[in-house]
Structure 1
Amino acid sequence: MSRSVSVRAPGKINLQLAVGPLGDDGYHPLATVFQAVDLYETVTATPREDSALVVTVEAPRALGIDISGVPTGPDNLAVKAALELRAYFGVDYGADLHLRKGVPVAGGMAGGSADAAAALVACAEAWELGAGRGELHKIAARVGADVPFSLHGHTAVGLGRGSDLSPAMVRGEFHWVLATQDHGLSTPEAYATFDAEVESGARPAAEPHINRELMAALMAGDAERLGAALSNDLQSAALTNAPHLHRVMEAAHEAEALGVIVSGSGPTVAALGRSRQHALAIAAHLRAAEVAHMVLTASAPAPGATIVT
């Protein structure tokens, strides 16, 4: 085992995130529609002679992604993925894991989950484990709820905790603008705010379900219908915890985005364009409005974890 293997995996946005009331197990049941965007994390795994898992991180300077908060120890999801992979196959191999960041950090776009998915595939290949996709999916679900989707990519419906995936039928390509902030939002805090809204009666305690209009829009490849059907039950919590996101969303509407939504628990705001050119125009308007730390454009759906070298 001497070869290095590089694997890239995509970031994601949630086209729909429906959240049910807190269960006795401490989790909220979810019904969500993930879409992978062509912003990628790339993980290169190089086998070591010892059992250490050593992480290094870089980001292309042009993207301006702040990697100072990315852990390089056992809290890194790529390390957790490698540890779960070792436990599943009963081995004790080591690896140098080099992460090249292309997804905004702490933006609600599952960059850490993409690292985990890429590390699973890269380590499985570098260590010559002969792992099948079904096995990798099972291991991915142990690492985190978003990791199985990062493994599979494209567009998918997620149920349960979000890791029970079914592919969604999609026609065509969609063009997104992603406005990020220079600080993250706490996902547990977002759910706590959501729970407070339910308890106060500000929102109903309903079982989550998938929006049929959104699925029909995806199947038809109709960006305008899709923009109108976007929804996120955690959006009001994100706006409560980060009120400045109101201005980001207003600026996207000023640029005539077809739909605007907070992705996941935030703070990234996703705006849908009619075309690639329209997305570039929305991005230019957001940059001029100075409402975001970084503004990126991306197309979707994108493939899941893929070996590149």
Structure 2
Amino acid sequence: MSVTVRVPAKVNVQLAVGAARPDGFHDLANVFLAVGLYDEVTVTPADELRVTCEGPDAAQVPLDRTNLAARAAVALAARRGIEPAVHIHIAKDIPVAGGMAGGSADGAGALLACNTLWGTGASRAELLAICAELGSDVPFSLVGGAALGTGRGEQLTALEVGGTFHWVFAVADGGLSTPAVYGEFDRLNEGIEVPEPVASEDLLAALAKGDATALAAALSNDLQPAALSLRPSLADTLAAGRAAGARAGLVSGSGPTTAFLVPDTETAASVAGALLASGTCRTVRTAESPAVGAAVL
């Protein structure tokens, strides 16, 4: 017997970042949009907890208990007083360490899969609480769709989306450490009064109307200067995507994946081809949003 859960990637259409808090985190106004790139997490009873992984860049995925999928199984098992004796297999399709919440997706997927396999009967609220303990992006990976994340991103408010948005994602060579990007954000803003993060009313209205032109005008990421500081070559990728016909482009989350909003599937294909030909990225992916959250297959 096994249970497989499919879970989506995300793009941050707005990431407003406040000053560092005493606990080291930052208050955020983080507008998440789930996109149709998915990992699949399968859990099967086993003698002990183990993790395996296949797919693009699978060699970069930790297979010990630091993996968020393993941590999710351990957290749920501890709450129920049972052993986390499962084999977790991750079929990766979300870019690894790319700012698209691939690790968080695996954590949410494993949590839902183990809850189903073990029949623990955990409520949605309990699952979301465990997600929040695992990481700031994990709750959204469970929920999907579109949401505003406040606090450090884990406090979610569902958002209305009035249409389909088309994206091209340019995957860079290597990853970027999220803590390193936040550290660079702090360095770049040293001595500067950082405003409280607030969701853009124009952006929320664009999402609700399904207006890609208005959404393109409102996209923003306060971590982008830090990501560009650590990886200056991303500026060339952003320029190539915009020159190829994207309505807008930005670094996805902490990067280094860059996300380009395009009007339709035909433009997505042409922008993707131009980005590959530019030599400014390792590979490209196209996807639509919004996408559903973690779901048992």
TM-score by length of 2: 0.98
Residue 163 of structure 1 is aligned with which of 154, 160, 177? 154
Tell me which residue corresponds to 2:2. Answer: 4
1:22 to 20, 23, 29: 20
Query: What CA distance in whole angstroms lies between the structure 2 residues aligned with 1:90 and 1:31?
Result: 36
Q: Which amino acid aligns with 2:96?
A: V
Query: Is 1:228 aligned to residue 217 of structure 2?
Result: yes
Q: Residues 62-81 of structure 1: matches in 2 within 5 Å?
A: 65-81=56-72
Deviations 1:167-225 (A, max 9, x none): 00111100000001121112122112211222144xx4111000000001001100011
Structure 2 counterpart of 1:38, one-letter code: G
SS of equivalent to 1:29: strand
Which residue number in structure 2 is paired with residue 53 of structure 1?
49
Gaps of 5+ in 2: none
Q: Do 2:109 and 2:142's aligned partners in 1 also have CA atoms closer than 8 Å? A: yes
Q: Secondary structure at the match of 1:25?
A: coil
* Alignment partner, residue 272 of structure 2: 283
Task: Describe the SS at the equivalent of 2:190.
Answer: helix
Aligned partner of residue 19 in structure 2, secondary structure: coil
1:174 aligns with 2:165: yes
Summarize the alignment of residues 113-262 of structure 1 with structure 2, pairs less than 5 Å apart.
113-201=104-192, 204-262=193-251
Measure, in 1, the Cα distance between the counterparts of 2:84 and 2:106. 19
Matches within 5 A, 1:88-103: 88-103=79-94
Structure 1 range deviating more: 209-218 or 121-130: 121-130
Once residues 132 and 88 of structure 1 are traced to their aligned partners in structure 2, the CA distance between those partners, rounded to angstroms, is 13
In structure 2, what residue type is equivalent to 1:262?
Answer: V
- Are 2:84 and 1:86 equivalent residues in the alignment? no
**CA contact under 8 A between 2:74 and 2:84: conserved in structure 1?**
no
The two structures have a TM-score, normalised by structure 1, of 0.94
Structure 1 Cα separation of the partners of residues 178 and 138 of structure 2: 16
Determine helix, strand or coil for the equivalent of 1:213: helix
Query: Are the equivalent residues in 2 in contact too, given 1:245–1:267 (CA < 8 A)?
Result: yes
SS of match in other structure, 1:295: strand
Shift of 1:132: 1.8
User: Are 2:128 and 2:139, in contact at CA under 8 Å, matched by a contact in 1?
Assistant: yes
- Residue segments in structure 1 that go unaligned for 5+ positions in a row: 60-64
Distance in 2, matches of 1:6 and 1:270, equals 28
> Are 1:273 and 2:262 counterparts?
yes
Equivalenced residue count is 297
Q: Give CA deviations for 1:219-238 in whole Å, capped at 9, x if unaligned.
A: 11000110110000000011
Between the aligned partners of 2:147 and 2:162, the Cα distance in structure 1 is 13
**CA distance in 2 between partners of 1:23 and 1:44 (Å):** 37
Instruction: Look up the equivalent residue of 2:62 and give its one-letter code.
Output: P
Is the 8 Å Cα contact of residues 73 and 84 (structure 2) preserved in structure 1?
Answer: no
- Give the whole-Å Cα distance in 1 for the aligned partners of 2:20 and 2:62: 30
In 1: Cα distance, 2:190 partner to 2:153 partner: 23
* Equivalent in the alignment of 1:43: 41
Structure 1 residue identity aligned to 2:246: A
Query: Matches of 1:144 and 1:116 in 2, distance apart?
Result: 9
- CA-CA distance at 1:93 after TM superposition: 4.0
